[in-house]
Chain A
Amino acid sequence: MAPLLSVKNLLVEFKTRAGIAKVLNNVSLDVHSGEILGVVGESGCGKSMTALSIMGLVPSPPGNVAGGTIELNGEDLLSASNKRLHQMRGKEISMIFQEPMTSLNPVFKVGHQIAEAILLHEKTTKSLAWERSVKMLDRVGIPEAAIRANSYPHEMSGGMRQRVMIAIALACNPKLLIADEPTTALDVTVQAQIFDLLRELQRETGTAIIMITHDMGAISELADRVAVMYAGHIIETGDTKDILSKPQHPYTRGLIACVPHLEENPSEERPYLAEIPGVVPPLTDLGKGCTFAPRCDFRTDDCTGSQPSLSKISDQHSVSCFNLNTVAS
């Protein structure tokens, strides 16, 4: 089956004072309708930039999509007209952001903001749009939706605001929802609620979701497939089960090892939390070798020569590493 969204060899560059920063390098990913793709990686690895590229919202200048293709249902988004992009955003692809506290316009009622998303894309009356926004609020689990639609964002908690954001994003039944760290700013119990909500809505509507996060826990809860990013490259991708149980790339292994777990008997001698030594290389100066090589325990001479390509190790699982055998043993 043809994928809903197909990103191929995407290159995004930013002009900075230190030179050209290669924010995304040959990023390729497919999203099929009805699935949840998790994109993980540490800060600055290009997760959010991938999302903005798909939305056509890379700030330009200084940003610039230098190569590659993005296709939604076979339609090339990079060459689409502005008019077409405006039609598409919100209607076919929507996005929810990291900070529910600041993602809503503080001077309008939340019901108004959902209705606005509907009115931008559909010919309908204001009162019908309002009714639908009340329904949306109810669907995302806000009690007394008819009253709550009249609230201003500052009168709501973070979790409720993120629910409103989700209602706005899903108001026009998009085919693809990009969730950029939707729960990072929320506390743990609310996080779980939002995950449940996303999963439930996804099942009801069949919307595909790209879930961007740095939280391996969130991935294991939600995602069908995972793409792991490092310094603008996708370095491993596969089914969530495979990635979590049989991670192949040393970076993915490191990421999973870094997840702290609860101790049953916290004793005096607690083990140090695992970490990956070193830092992400500057994006303006990635060199020609594997971007992870400077931090990798399994580094060989091959690694400093060129960036390994993403190659399949099974039907669904691809990794970019030269030394898979040594890493595995």
Chain B
Amino acid sequence: MSSIETQFIPKSQHPIVEAIKAFRQSWAGMLGLILLLLVILFSVAGPFIYAVDPFEIIWAPLTAPGVVANAPFGTDHLGRDVLAGLVYGGQATLFVGLTAGFLTITIGILVGAMAGYYGGGVDEILMRITEFFQVLPALLFAMVLVTLFTPSIYVVSAAIGIVSWPTTARLTRAEFLRIKNLEYVKAAQSIGARDNRIIWRVVLPNSLAPLIVSATLTIGVAILFEAGLSYLGLGDPNAFSWGMMIGAGREYILDAWWLVTLPGIMIFLTVLGFSLIGDGLNDAFNPRLRER
């Protein structure tokens, strides 16, 4: 073990480990991570520290922030506590963002992988379906889906997932088209690996970098989407979300700025957090950018 040769063998690191190291060098990524951790802490730990029912009327309507001690961020048009709304709304918003993001990525990768790997007729059919979903006005289509069923955060998540997967599918397809002709795929075929194995164990791991970046950004987009739907009154009426708070407060925007601004800031910070993380991951996965 102590021969001279061993000294020259580089210490092996999994590509993911290297990427994490590079990610920690990226200020954008780290800032995004900190932002996101704060938002998660606020929404997940918040209810235990600040246990106020967001639906309960606690003070006079439209009380400004800082006026009374038990409503530090003011009250809304019904006299409900805005801070409690922000805390509980964060949970719904993050839940919808993550679920819809997960759904988007799953459908997108499945469709894109099949289309890109098999090509030919499979590709034609899957890509026409993808294009069909792409040309539909996403917001309208999601609204239709939500109104068809009882609006709940599950339905909203599913609707967002169903309208947003085409981008991921196209990205996955492009990666598969590029990678499936590389020599190591041919080499895998030549040792007798079957299609299934090649798709999931050879091609997918090599296309993960852009997909992880895109997944992060997708969650941000899904959160914005949820805010849009809730703003239009199509969210879950039984769950507080930041979008719904903005929607409900929009009539009072001239008298009570905090009703719209505070949840707006929360959405902004969350989506910014996801975007910055996406940026950092992009740097981390791209060795050419890493050099700079």
Which residues of A are at the interface with B, using a C-beta cutoff of 8 A? Answer: 55, 57, 61, 85-91, 94-95, 97-99, 102-109, 116-117, 120-121, 143-144, 147-148, 150-152, 155, 165, 168-169
Interface-located stretch among B49-57, B170-178, B182-190, B224-232: B182-190
Interface-located stretch among B9-17, B87-95, B236-244: B9-17
Per the bound structure, the CA–CA distance linking A101 and B18 in Å amounts to 20
Q: Is B288 an interface residue (CB 8 A)?
A: no
B206 touches A90 (CB 8 A): no
Task: Write the nearest CB–CB distance from B285 to chain A, whole angstroms.
Answer: 12
Contacts of B193 in A (CB 8 A): 86, 116, 120
The one of B12, B188, B206 that contacts A155, using a Cβ cutoff of 8 Å: B12
Task: Write the nearest CB–CB distance from A145 to chain B, whole angstroms.
Answer: 11
A144 touches B192 (CB 8 A): no
Quick one: closest A residue to B181, CB to CB? A59
Given contacts A90-B191, A103-B187, A116-B191, 15 further A-B contacts (CB under 8 A): A57-B190, A85-B192, A86-B194, A87-B192, A90-B192, A95-B190, A97-B186, A103-B183, A105-B184, A105-B187, A105-B206, A108-B205, A109-B12, A120-B192, A165-B187
Contacts of B192 in A (CB 8 A): 85-91, 117, 120-121
B12 touches A151 (CB 8 A): yes
With A88-B192, A117-B191, A168-B191 in contact, is A97–B6 under 8 Å at CB? no
Across the A-B interface, how many residue pairs have beta carbons closer than 8 Å? 86
A105 touches B5 (CB 8 A): no
Contacts of B191 in A (CB 8 A): 89-90, 94, 116-117, 120, 168-169
Contacts of A117 in B (CB 8 A): 191-192
Contacts of B186 in A (CB 8 A): 57, 97, 103
User: 8 Å CB contacts to A: which residues of B143-193?
Assistant: 182-184, 186-193
A104 touches B206 (CB 8 A): no
* Number of residues from B at the complex interface, CB < 8 A: 26
Task: Write the nearest CB–CB distance from B208 to chain A, whole angstroms.
Answer: 8
The one of B5, B10, B194 that contacts A151, using a Cβ cutoff of 8 Å: B10
Contacts of B120 in A (CB 8 A): 61
A97 touches B187 (CB 8 A): yes
Contacts of A106 in B (CB 8 A): 15, 184, 206
Quick one: closest B residue to A106, CB to CB? B206
The 10 A-B pairs of least Cβ separation, nearest first, read A90-B191, A90-B192, A89-B192, A95-B190, A103-B183, A117-B191, A102-B183, A103-B187, A105-B184, A107-B205
The one of B14, B15, B189, B202 that contacts A89, using a Cβ cutoff of 8 Å: B189
Contacts of B10 in A (CB 8 A): 151, 155
A144 touches B9 (CB 8 A): yes
Contacts of B188 in A (CB 8 A): 105
Per the bound structure, the CA–CA distance linking A95 and B187 in Å amounts to 8
With A86-B194, A144-B5, A147-B6 in contact, is A57–B187 under 8 Å at CB? no
Contacts of B189 in A (CB 8 A): 55, 57, 89
Task: Write the nearest CB–CB distance from B90 to chain A, whole angstroms.
Answer: 36
Quick one: closest A residue to B188, CB to CB? A105
A94 touches B190 (CB 8 A): yes
Contacts of B202 in A (CB 8 A): 105
A97 touches B5 (CB 8 A): no
Task: Write the nearest CB–CB distance from B291 to chain A, whole angstroms.
Answer: 15
Contacts of B187 in A (CB 8 A): 95, 97, 103-105, 165, 168
Per the bound structure, the CA–CA distance linking A91 and B188 in Å amounts to 13
